[in-house]
Structure 1
Amino acid sequence: MSGLTVDNLRVEYPGSPPVVAVDGASLTVAPGETVALLGPSGCGKSSLLGAIVGIVEPAAGSVAWDGEDLTHVPVHRRGFGLVFQDGQLFPHRSVARNVAFGLEMAGVARDERRARVEELLEVVGLAGYGERAITDLSGGQRQRVALARSLAPRPRLLALDEPLSSLDADLRARLAVEVRDILAADGTAAIVVTHDPREAEVMASRVLRMSAGALQ
């Protein structure tokens, strides 16, 4: 199977007995496809996402890409990107240098970095904003910068954990469409975690519902 394959994944947290956050989850995401994980707070969506990208160690099951087992591969070697709900941008860096961060860490040449940053700022609707300070941006603009930064190293899968939840309702509705279009334009596979059914329907081509640690 090409793309992401998650098989019978289980996530537990320490306790007596252990707390089961994800119980036997299996899913696939094809290259270029966006899948939403929909469910209420505390149902295990973020734990499942964390296990997929590698920031949470699963108790059982497997994560693979194009048939290659990544279950115990370090997060920085999986080729996956992650966008959090607050963006987690670097306030001391300009917009362009935020977007370029992953490329700098990968040792990409300066001219190539500059071209990729300009390309992505155009894609996310922020052309000409490269020298702006992060503190000068609106909440929606910051999330677009976070998205561009995550896309810059060309991840094969992008994980978005409640990426719009900190924004007001009108802005969330607009950005849901924008993020969907940006991912489609870049051809990046994605998993979006959300508790908003409308957001899930707008952003994803397929919606998986989750409850009490299990996919329905």
Structure 2
Amino acid sequence: MRKISLCFLFASAMISALVTLPSARAADTQLAMSGNVTTGSCSINVDQATLDWGKISTASLSDENGWVSGRHFLSDKKANLAIVCDSPMSVAFGFDWDSSTELGTAGSIGLGLTPDNQKIGTALPCLSCVYNDPEHGTMEARPSAMLNGNKGYLLSGGVLNGVVVWRNDGDDSELKRTSDEYYSFSDSSTGTNVIAVENASVDVYFKPEISSTLAVTDDVTFTAPVTISLFYM
């Protein structure tokens, strides 16, 4: 009996529900779904937009030609390059500049021309290092790379068959233009795996060389714009 009663009550409830359904739809409303899938973003900045050597008297330039004849070497200056991402991202960065007025053919930074079209000089760029010995042209490592709050190491990479092949530069790297070289960060002094960046930084050093054959009759201003680009990988 209890079994039959339960079935009857269930059927009765179903019938009652069907009878009380509204006979016509009164109104509608909508619920929209949306979202934004993003790969994240990064910024790249330097702590000094301009490196200024001030006024340089030709009389104060040393007669020491150093390891390259015909050049006077100025003191090096640095800027700190910082990359900040809103989430961990694999990135690379690169540099570009005008080499058309450099002294020599090494692809370094040209310092421009005098009004009578004489080449003023060259600037040698370095990551975490500087040319510290004018007589022998050696580079001194000045470790400065930081990666996600810890010590980082520099990678440099060239393109081979459309793929960037990375090398580990340890604590320093002589800079080349983006057409020849990209740079990134590793957490290993020997590994070549690019580590995703949340925040990273490295010092960039520049050492100008002024032509010792420069015939200056009026003040000459040298400028050397350097473009730093960030690439998502």
- Pick the TM interval, shorter chain: under 0.3
Q: Which has the higher strand share?
A: 2
The structure showing larger relative contact order (alpha-carbon pairs under 8 Å, at least 6 residues apart) is 1
Q: Which has the higher helix share?
A: 1
What TM-score do you get using the length of structure 2 for normalisation? Answer: 0.25
